[in-house]
Amino acid sequence: MNKHKRILLCVTGGIAVFKAAALTSKLVQQGYEVKVVMTSSAREFVTPLTFQALSRDHVYIDTFTEPNPEKIAHIDIADWADLVMIAPATANVIGKLANGIADDMVTTTVMATTAPVMIAPAMNVHMYAHPAVEKNMETLKTFGYTFIEPDEGYLACGYEGKGRMAEPEDLLAMVDHHFIRRENKLWHGKNVLVTAGPTQEEIDPVRFFSNRSSGKMGYAIAEMAAARGANVTLVTGPSSLPQPHGVQVVSVRTAQEMYDAVVSRYAHTNVVIKAAAVADYRPKHTFTNKMKKSDGNIEVEMERTTDILKTLGSQKTGQLLVGFAAESENIEENAKKKIAAKNLDVIAANSVTEAGSGFQGDTNALTLYFANGNEASIPLTTKKDAASQLLDHIKPLLEGQ
């Protein structure tokens, strides 16, 4: 997807330059072509050689250094870029660009480009809140520039507050989303609800029944749907995974809590993708205090939880409903039975006993069965790629909405 996409990374002076180095590495690993431009202040923190090694390309530092007499360097790379990102962006460079000052390699290049520009500010909390900086950022927004808000936390100056440059992973997600969104306009504005992870059904204050689901598949689906421009809500059971970029996360613990969260949002949803491994049973009786160990065996009576997917199927009023079937045997037969029994449009089936496609791993292999009788195969791949392929396969079903 990213091959031949060209990213011009403009690095200005601040302690967050080290994050820009990490971002450069991540962009290259994702298949982007990267060129780096540095201000003199940025070079006080990290040398150009670092970025040259990471980008595998020449680093531009001086407007008046013209290595190729047939080209004007800052115009050439301004035209070359598919996307420009300024990270970190200081108050100084934001002020210069907002007021048309072009006095170094970064500002002359940015002002010469017609590519989209993303800006990741990084500065002291009081500088970020200064009226002049706020005014300059508003001015740049009117130029069409996109700002990536800084994080809150401990700053190098010793203050706590908003001003830390967004993490390289978040900046990479912004770049990915920029290109994916442009190529998937059908998803723009669609309300997508994804479920992920396990549920936990309590026995007493220290014990519960659960399963091996990590949530990785559902989180990947939510991230890739958001990248396409959808409004995504992720209803997730307990998980240690980081929140996907651009996704509204609703955390739940039990099957009943997940049922309530999903059903309450269903009427306003275009697509539901139920990737969660919801408990089919829960203890009929729970205990306020910890059960003490005793001689002999114990029995825990279990009762059925409400079938969320079946409920959604019975209440469907035009939503696209996608289920998951994690099976250990008779995969096709069991998956197709669920399509009919739960009024699904698509079901994604996988074998939990097959190497690479079970719970907790980073890969998956899926077979998609459609209510209209069609089938599609997603061979073993990363869960992020499997999520992307799943969304591509169900995209035609969205065209009638």
- With 0-12 / 13-18 / 19 or more C-beta atoms within 10 angstroms meaning exposed / middle / buried, residue 81 is buried
Quick one: angle between helices 168-182 and 216-227, nearest 10?
60
Six-digit token pair at 297?
């065996």
CA 103 – CA 3 distance, rounded (Å) = 33
Annotated binding site for CTP: 280, 290, 324, 338, 342
157 is catalytic: yes
Cα–Cα dist 172/141, whole Å: 21
Compute how many other C-beta atoms are within 10 angstroms of the C-beta atom of residue 103.
Answer: 9
Q: What is the DSSP string of 75-106?
A: HHHHHH-SEEEEEEE-HHHHHHHHTT---SHH
CA distance 97 to 147: 13
At 370, list the tokens: 């459609």
* The two structure tokens encoding residue 360: 């907790």
Closest by CA to 239, choosing from 204, 203, 276, is 276
Binding residues: 280, 290, 324, 338, 342
Helix crossing, 17-29 with 48-55: angle to 10°? Answer: 10
Query: What distances in angstroms separate CA 286 from CA 29, 112, 208, 370, one per listed residue?
Result: 50, 67, 10, 40
Q: What is the DSSP letter of 296?
A: S
Tokens standing for residue 296: 């002999």
Cα distance between residue 40 and residue 139, in whole Å: 25
Q: Determine which one of 132, 156, 157, 341 is catalytic.
A: 157
> Exposed, middle or buried: residue 160 (CB in 10 Å: 0-12, 13-18, 19+)?
exposed
Question: Helix/strand/coil (H, E, C) string of 32-48?
Answer: CEEEEEECCCHHHCCCH
List residues with catalytic annotation: 157
